[in-house]
Protein backbone atom coordinates (compact mmCIF):
# COMPACT_ATOMS: atom_id res chain seq x y z
CA UNK A 1 0.00 0.00 0.00
CA UNK A 2 1.25 3.48 -0.92
CA UNK A 3 -0.21 6.14 1.39
CA UNK A 4 0.35 9.84 0.76
CA UNK A 5 2.00 11.75 3.61
CA UNK A 6 3.13 15.33 4.14
CA UNK A 7 4.39 17.64 6.88
CA UNK A 8 5.43 21.20 7.71
CA UNK A 9 9.10 22.14 8.13
CA UNK A 10 10.38 22.64 11.66
CA UNK A 11 11.09 26.36 12.30
CA UNK A 12 14.43 26.06 14.14
CA UNK A 13 16.35 29.35 14.13
CA UNK A 14 19.37 27.90 12.30
CA UNK A 15 17.27 26.86 9.30
CA UNK A 16 17.28 28.29 5.79
CA UNK A 17 14.23 30.32 4.81
CA UNK A 18 14.16 29.10 1.21
CA UNK A 19 16.15 25.89 0.57
CA UNK A 20 13.50 23.26 1.37
CA UNK A 21 10.71 25.22 -0.35
CA UNK A 22 12.83 25.72 -3.47
CA UNK A 23 13.77 22.03 -3.58
CA UNK A 24 10.16 20.83 -3.32
CA UNK A 25 8.43 23.61 -5.25
CA UNK A 26 6.54 24.82 -2.19
CA UNK A 27 5.67 28.35 -1.12
CA UNK A 28 8.09 29.48 1.63
CA UNK A 29 6.53 30.15 5.03
CA UNK A 30 8.48 33.35 5.52
CA UNK A 31 10.30 32.01 8.58
CA UNK A 32 13.20 29.58 9.02
CA UNK A 33 12.52 26.10 7.65
CA UNK A 34 15.18 23.87 9.16
CA UNK A 35 13.93 20.28 8.90
CA UNK A 36 11.07 18.48 7.18
CA UNK A 37 10.33 15.28 9.11
CA UNK A 38 8.94 12.24 7.34
CA UNK A 39 8.16 9.51 9.83
CA UNK A 40 6.22 8.65 12.96
CA UNK A 41 8.33 10.48 15.51
CA UNK A 42 6.07 12.02 18.15
CA UNK A 43 7.83 15.38 17.82
CA UNK A 44 6.39 15.93 14.33
CA UNK A 45 4.65 12.86 12.86
CA UNK A 46 3.86 13.01 9.15
CA UNK A 47 0.24 13.84 8.34
CA UNK A 48 -1.83 11.43 6.26
CA UNK A 49 -3.02 13.13 3.06
CA UNK A 50 -6.24 11.06 2.90
CA UNK A 51 -7.12 9.74 6.39
CA UNK A 52 -10.28 8.04 5.13
CA UNK A 53 -8.19 5.70 2.98
CA UNK A 54 -6.60 4.10 6.06
CA UNK A 55 -9.48 4.14 8.52
CA UNK A 56 -9.33 7.72 9.74
CA UNK A 57 -5.87 8.06 11.32
CA UNK A 58 -4.70 11.65 10.80
CA UNK A 59 -0.97 11.07 11.14
CA UNK A 60 1.57 8.29 10.81
CA UNK A 61 2.11 7.86 14.55
CA UNK A 62 -1.61 7.31 15.09
CA UNK A 63 -1.91 4.88 12.16
CA UNK A 64 1.01 2.77 13.38
CA UNK A 65 -0.47 2.65 16.89
CA UNK A 66 -3.86 1.60 15.51
CA UNK A 67 -2.61 -0.99 13.00
CA UNK A 68 1.01 -2.05 13.64
CA UNK A 69 0.62 -5.28 11.66
CA UNK A 70 -0.24 -3.49 8.40
CA UNK A 71 2.11 -0.55 8.87
CA UNK A 72 5.18 -2.33 10.23
CA UNK A 73 4.96 -5.99 9.19
CA UNK A 74 7.72 -7.93 10.97
CA UNK A 75 8.50 -4.82 13.06
CA UNK A 76 4.99 -4.83 14.56
CA UNK A 77 6.21 -6.29 17.86
CA UNK A 78 7.98 -3.00 18.63
CA UNK A 79 5.05 -0.80 17.46
CA UNK A 80 7.77 1.63 16.38
CA UNK A 81 9.03 2.84 13.00
CA UNK A 82 12.80 2.43 13.50
CA UNK A 83 13.94 5.30 11.27
CA UNK A 84 13.21 8.97 10.62
CA UNK A 85 13.76 10.61 7.23
CA UNK A 86 14.40 14.35 7.06
CA UNK A 87 15.23 17.12 4.68
CA UNK A 88 17.69 19.37 6.54
CA UNK A 89 18.57 22.93 5.49
CA UNK A 90 21.21 24.64 7.66
CA UNK A 91 21.78 28.37 7.21
CA UNK A 92 23.98 28.54 10.33
CA UNK A 93 25.81 25.93 12.44
CA UNK A 94 24.04 23.37 14.59
CA UNK A 95 25.35 22.35 18.00
CA UNK A 96 28.31 20.04 18.54
CA UNK A 97 26.79 16.71 19.49
CA UNK A 98 27.16 12.96 19.74
CA UNK A 99 24.76 10.06 20.19
CA UNK A 100 25.03 6.98 22.44
CA UNK A 101 25.33 3.34 21.52
CA UNK A 102 22.25 1.18 22.11
CA UNK A 103 23.79 -0.19 25.31
CA UNK A 104 24.56 3.24 26.73
CA UNK A 105 21.13 4.51 25.70
CA UNK A 106 19.43 1.70 27.60
CA UNK A 107 21.61 2.29 30.66
CA UNK A 108 21.12 6.07 30.60
CA UNK A 109 17.37 5.85 30.05
CA UNK A 110 16.97 3.41 32.96
CA UNK A 111 19.20 5.52 35.24
CA UNK A 112 17.34 8.77 34.59
CA UNK A 113 13.99 7.04 35.05
CA UNK A 114 15.11 5.60 38.38
CA UNK A 115 16.34 8.98 39.61
CA UNK A 116 13.06 10.63 38.63
CA UNK A 117 14.25 12.99 35.90
CA UNK A 118 11.10 14.04 33.97
CA UNK A 119 11.08 13.00 30.30
CA UNK A 120 10.58 16.59 29.21
CA UNK A 121 13.19 18.11 31.57
CA UNK A 122 15.69 20.38 29.75
CA UNK A 123 18.59 18.64 31.52
CA UNK A 124 17.45 15.12 30.57
CA UNK A 125 19.96 13.30 28.33
CA UNK A 126 18.09 10.08 27.48
CA UNK A 127 14.50 10.43 26.31
CA UNK A 128 14.32 6.85 25.02
CA UNK A 129 16.38 3.65 25.07
CA UNK A 130 17.57 3.72 21.47
CA UNK A 131 20.80 4.61 19.73
CA UNK A 132 20.82 7.33 17.07
CA UNK A 133 23.23 6.65 14.20
CA UNK A 134 22.59 8.87 11.18
CA UNK A 135 23.67 9.66 7.64
CA UNK A 136 23.47 12.82 5.57
CA UNK A 137 23.33 12.96 1.76
CA UNK A 138 24.33 16.31 0.26
CA UNK A 139 21.72 17.92 -2.00
CA UNK A 140 23.38 21.34 -2.19
CA UNK A 141 26.56 21.83 -4.21
CA UNK A 142 28.43 21.89 -0.88
CA UNK A 143 27.38 20.58 2.51
CA UNK A 144 29.73 21.64 5.31
CA UNK A 145 30.22 19.76 8.58
CA UNK A 146 32.57 19.00 11.43
CA UNK A 147 32.99 15.29 12.02
CA UNK A 148 35.22 13.16 14.25
CA UNK A 149 38.53 13.91 15.93
CA UNK A 150 41.83 14.82 14.32
CA UNK A 151 45.03 13.29 15.61
CA UNK A 152 46.64 15.09 18.52
CA UNK A 153 49.70 15.58 16.32
CA UNK A 154 47.62 17.74 13.99
CA UNK A 155 46.10 19.61 16.91
CA UNK A 156 49.54 20.40 18.29
CA UNK A 157 50.53 21.74 14.88
CA UNK A 158 47.43 23.96 14.82
CA UNK A 159 48.20 25.36 18.27
CA UNK A 160 51.84 25.92 17.29
CA UNK A 161 50.73 27.94 14.25
CA UNK A 162 48.46 30.06 16.43
CA UNK A 163 51.38 30.55 18.83
CA UNK A 164 53.52 31.89 15.97
CA UNK A 165 50.74 34.30 14.99
CA UNK A 166 50.71 35.73 18.50
CA UNK A 167 53.51 38.28 18.10
CA UNK A 168 53.10 40.90 20.82
CA UNK A 169 50.18 39.09 22.46
CA UNK A 170 50.12 37.44 25.89
CA UNK A 171 50.00 33.71 25.10
CA UNK A 172 49.89 32.23 28.61
CA UNK A 173 46.38 30.76 28.05
CA UNK A 174 47.59 29.06 24.87
CA UNK A 175 50.68 27.73 26.66
CA UNK A 176 48.40 26.08 29.20
CA UNK A 177 46.49 24.32 26.41
CA UNK A 178 49.74 23.25 24.70
CA UNK A 179 50.90 21.74 27.98
CA UNK A 180 47.62 19.87 28.33
CA UNK A 181 47.93 18.25 24.87
CA UNK A 182 51.53 17.11 25.36
CA UNK A 183 50.45 13.56 26.22
CA UNK A 184 49.33 11.20 23.44
CA UNK A 185 46.25 10.15 25.43
CA UNK A 186 45.22 13.71 26.33
CA UNK A 187 42.20 14.04 24.04
CA UNK A 188 39.50 13.22 26.65
CA UNK A 189 41.19 15.58 29.14
CA UNK A 190 41.29 18.41 26.58
CA UNK A 191 37.61 18.01 25.68
CA UNK A 192 36.64 17.81 29.35
CA UNK A 193 38.64 20.93 30.28
CA UNK A 194 37.22 22.97 27.42
CA UNK A 195 33.66 21.75 27.95
CA UNK A 196 33.62 22.59 31.67
CA UNK A 197 34.45 26.21 30.95
CA UNK A 198 35.68 28.75 33.49
CA UNK A 199 37.96 31.79 33.43
CA UNK A 200 40.96 29.90 32.00
CA UNK A 201 38.85 28.45 29.19
CA UNK A 202 37.27 31.83 28.48
CA UNK A 203 40.77 33.29 28.05
CA UNK A 204 41.77 30.50 25.64
CA UNK A 205 38.58 30.89 23.61
CA UNK A 206 39.06 34.66 23.25
CA UNK A 207 42.72 34.26 22.31
CA UNK A 208 42.10 31.48 19.77
CA UNK A 209 39.28 33.44 18.11
CA UNK A 210 41.60 36.44 17.81
CA UNK A 211 44.59 34.52 16.48
CA UNK A 212 42.53 32.43 14.03
CA UNK A 213 41.35 35.67 12.42
CA UNK A 214 44.89 37.04 11.97
CA UNK A 215 46.81 36.86 8.68
CA UNK A 216 49.05 33.82 8.26
CA UNK A 217 52.50 34.03 9.83
CA UNK A 218 55.51 33.80 7.50
CA UNK A 219 56.08 30.22 6.36
CA UNK A 220 52.57 28.88 7.02
CA UNK A 221 51.68 26.23 4.46
CA UNK A 222 47.92 26.78 4.52
CA UNK A 223 46.98 23.22 5.52
CA UNK A 224 44.77 24.45 8.35
CA UNK A 225 43.34 27.58 6.76
CA UNK A 226 39.86 26.02 6.61
CA UNK A 227 40.05 25.05 10.28
CA UNK A 228 40.93 28.63 11.23
CA UNK A 229 38.18 30.03 9.01
CA UNK A 230 35.71 27.67 10.72
CA UNK A 231 36.77 28.92 14.16
CA UNK A 232 36.34 32.52 13.02
CA UNK A 233 32.84 31.83 11.67
CA UNK A 234 31.84 30.04 14.87
CA UNK A 235 33.12 32.93 16.97
CA UNK A 236 30.69 35.19 15.12
CA UNK A 237 27.75 32.82 15.64
CA UNK A 238 28.63 31.73 19.20
CA UNK A 239 30.96 34.33 20.76
CA UNK A 240 32.85 32.99 23.74
CA UNK A 241 31.66 29.39 23.29
CA UNK A 242 34.29 26.68 24.04
CA UNK A 243 33.10 24.90 20.89
CA UNK A 244 35.18 27.41 18.93
CA UNK A 245 38.34 25.78 20.29
CA UNK A 246 36.87 22.26 20.20
CA UNK A 247 36.21 22.77 16.46
CA UNK A 248 39.98 22.83 15.87
CA UNK A 249 40.12 19.30 17.28
CA UNK A 250 37.70 18.08 14.59
CA UNK A 251 37.82 17.27 10.90
CA UNK A 252 36.17 19.78 8.58
CA UNK A 253 34.18 18.00 5.89
CA UNK A 254 32.98 19.52 2.63
CA UNK A 255 30.60 17.12 0.87
CA UNK A 256 29.85 17.63 -2.81
CA UNK A 257 26.34 17.01 -4.09
CA UNK A 258 25.73 13.29 -4.15
CA UNK A 259 28.18 12.42 -1.37
CA UNK A 260 26.99 10.95 1.92
CA UNK A 261 28.44 10.94 5.42
CA UNK A 262 27.68 8.22 7.97
CA UNK A 263 27.88 9.13 11.66
CA UNK A 264 27.87 6.11 13.99
CA UNK A 265 27.33 6.29 17.73
CA UNK A 266 30.00 8.27 19.58
CA UNK A 267 31.08 10.38 16.61
CA UNK A 268 31.13 14.06 17.58
CA UNK A 269 29.81 16.26 14.78
CA UNK A 270 28.12 19.50 13.83
CA UNK A 271 26.44 20.43 10.56
CA UNK A 272 27.55 23.91 9.50
CA UNK A 273 25.65 24.73 6.32
CA UNK A 274 23.90 23.18 3.36
CA UNK A 275 20.87 21.20 2.22
CA UNK A 276 20.71 17.44 2.60
CA UNK A 277 18.67 14.29 3.03
CA UNK A 278 19.18 13.05 6.58
CA UNK A 279 18.26 9.53 7.68
CA UNK A 280 18.59 8.37 11.26
CA UNK A 281 17.36 5.94 13.85
CA UNK A 282 14.19 7.34 15.45
CA UNK A 283 15.63 8.54 18.77
CA UNK A 284 15.85 11.76 20.81
CA UNK A 285 19.13 10.93 22.55
CA UNK A 286 21.56 13.81 21.98
CA UNK A 287 24.59 14.69 24.10
CA UNK A 288 25.66 18.24 23.28
CA UNK A 289 29.21 19.51 23.46
CA UNK A 290 29.02 23.21 22.66
CA UNK A 291 27.79 25.80 20.13
CA UNK A 292 24.46 25.82 21.93
CA UNK A 293 22.64 27.52 24.81
CA UNK A 294 21.11 24.13 25.69
CA UNK A 295 22.17 21.77 28.46
CA UNK A 296 25.68 20.27 28.20
CA UNK A 297 26.31 17.31 30.51
CA UNK A 298 30.10 17.02 30.37
CA UNK A 299 30.54 13.66 32.18
CA UNK A 300 27.86 11.98 30.05
CA UNK A 301 29.25 13.52 26.87
CA UNK A 302 32.66 12.06 27.71
CA UNK A 303 30.97 8.72 28.41
CA UNK A 304 29.49 8.44 24.92
CA UNK A 305 32.26 10.00 22.82
CA UNK A 306 34.54 7.87 20.65
CA UNK A 307 37.90 9.63 20.88
CA UNK A 308 39.61 7.48 18.26
CA UNK A 309 40.85 9.63 15.33
CA UNK A 310 39.44 8.11 12.15
CA UNK A 311 39.30 8.73 8.44
CA UNK A 312 36.30 10.72 7.26
CA UNK A 313 33.29 8.35 7.23
CA UNK A 314 32.13 9.04 3.68
CA UNK A 315 29.65 6.30 2.76
CA UNK A 316 30.15 4.81 -0.71
CA UNK A 317 26.91 3.59 -2.31
CA UNK A 318 26.17 0.24 -3.85
CA UNK A 319 24.93 0.51 -7.44
CA UNK A 320 22.86 -2.61 -8.12
CA UNK A 321 21.46 -1.21 -11.38
CA UNK A 322 21.79 1.96 -13.50
CA UNK A 323 20.23 4.97 -11.81
CA UNK A 324 19.96 3.28 -8.41
CA UNK A 325 22.25 4.03 -5.45
CA UNK A 326 21.97 2.23 -2.11
CA UNK A 327 23.58 3.76 1.00
CA UNK A 328 23.88 0.96 3.52
CA UNK A 329 25.50 1.78 6.89
CA UNK A 330 26.74 -0.76 9.42
CA UNK A 331 23.49 -0.71 11.45
CA UNK A 332 20.18 -2.47 10.68
CA UNK A 333 18.01 0.57 11.50
CA UNK A 334 17.92 2.09 8.02
CA UNK A 335 19.03 2.12 4.41
CA UNK A 336 18.81 5.08 2.02
CA UNK A 337 18.04 4.44 -1.65
CA UNK A 338 18.31 7.10 -4.36
CA UNK A 339 16.72 6.70 -7.78
CA UNK A 340 18.06 9.24 -10.25
CA UNK A 341 15.89 8.54 -13.30
CA UNK A 342 16.41 6.54 -16.45
CA UNK A 343 15.57 2.87 -16.93
CA UNK A 344 13.25 1.24 -14.37
CA UNK A 345 15.02 -0.07 -11.27
CA UNK A 346 13.78 -2.50 -8.62
CA UNK A 347 14.70 -2.62 -4.95
CA UNK A 348 13.56 -5.24 -2.37
CA UNK A 349 11.93 -4.13 0.88
CA UNK A 350 12.43 -5.96 4.18
CA UNK A 351 10.16 -3.65 6.16
CA UNK A 352 8.26 -0.36 5.88
CA UNK A 353 9.56 2.49 3.73
CA UNK A 354 9.07 6.20 3.03
CA UNK A 355 9.72 7.83 -0.35
CA UNK A 356 9.93 11.50 -1.35
CA UNK A 357 10.35 12.99 -4.82
CA UNK A 358 12.80 15.91 -5.11
CA UNK A 359 12.76 16.34 -8.90
CA UNK A 360 10.50 15.50 -11.83
CA UNK A 361 7.99 12.66 -11.66
CA UNK A 362 8.51 8.98 -10.83
CA UNK A 363 6.14 6.00 -10.88
CA UNK A 364 6.39 3.49 -8.02
CA UNK A 365 4.99 0.01 -8.35
CA UNK A 366 4.90 -3.18 -6.32
CA UNK A 367 1.78 -5.04 -5.26
CA UNK A 368 0.06 -1.69 -5.92
CA UNK A 369 1.26 1.54 -7.52
CA UNK A 370 1.61 5.29 -7.04
CA UNK A 371 3.10 8.30 -8.80
CA UNK A 372 5.27 10.85 -7.03
CA UNK A 373 5.73 14.36 -8.36
CA UNK A 374 8.24 16.86 -7.04
CA UNK A 375 7.48 17.64 -3.39
CA UNK A 376 5.20 14.64 -2.73
CA UNK A 377 5.87 11.69 -0.42
CA UNK A 378 4.36 8.30 0.45
CA UNK A 379 4.50 5.76 3.22
CA UNK A 380 5.04 2.25 1.83
CA UNK A 381 3.71 -0.70 3.82
CA UNK A 382 5.89 -3.84 4.01
CA UNK A 383 3.46 -5.98 2.01
CA UNK A 384 4.72 -4.30 -1.17
CA UNK A 385 7.81 -6.56 -0.75
CA UNK A 386 9.72 -4.71 -3.49
CA UNK A 387 9.30 -1.51 -5.44
CA UNK A 388 10.10 -0.63 -9.02
CA UNK A 389 10.86 3.02 -9.79
CA UNK A 390 10.57 4.47 -13.28
CA UNK A 391 10.51 7.96 -14.73
CA UNK A 392 12.49 11.14 -15.29
CA UNK A 393 12.96 12.33 -11.74
CA UNK A 394 14.73 11.83 -8.40
CA UNK A 395 13.29 9.89 -5.47
CA UNK A 396 14.81 9.06 -2.10
CA UNK A 397 13.54 5.96 -0.30
CA UNK A 398 14.21 5.29 3.37
CA UNK A 399 13.66 1.77 4.59
CA UNK A 400 14.91 -0.75 7.14
CA UNK A 401 18.20 -2.56 6.80
Report which secondary-structure segment, H or E, holds 163. helix 152-165
251 within 8 A of 312, measured Cβ to Cβ: yes
Cβ proximity of 8 and 33 under 8 Å: no
What are the CA-CA distances from residue 379 to residues 20, 89, 251, 270, 394 (Å)? 20, 22, 36, 29, 17
| Active-site choice (288, 338, 359, 374) | 288
- What's the CA angle centered on 395, arms 390 and 400, to 5 degrees? 105
Residue 288 annotated among the catalytic residues of the structure: yes
Distance from chain centroid for Cα 187? 23
Q: Which is nearest to 338 in space by CA: 256, 260, 254? A: 260
Q: What is the separation, in whole angstroms, between the first and last Cα of the chain?
A: 20
Supply the residues annotated as catalytic: 288
Amino acid sequence: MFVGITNRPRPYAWGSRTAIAELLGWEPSGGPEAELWLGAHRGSPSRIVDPEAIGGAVDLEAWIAADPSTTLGSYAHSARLPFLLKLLAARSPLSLQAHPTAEKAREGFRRENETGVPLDAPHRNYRDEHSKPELIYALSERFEALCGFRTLTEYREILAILHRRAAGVQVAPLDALLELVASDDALPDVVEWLSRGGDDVDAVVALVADLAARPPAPGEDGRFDTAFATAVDLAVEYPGDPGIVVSLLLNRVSLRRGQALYLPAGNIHAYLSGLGVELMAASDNVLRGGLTPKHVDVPELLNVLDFTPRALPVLTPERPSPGLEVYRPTVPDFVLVRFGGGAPATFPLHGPAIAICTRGSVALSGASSARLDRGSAVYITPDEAEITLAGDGEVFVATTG
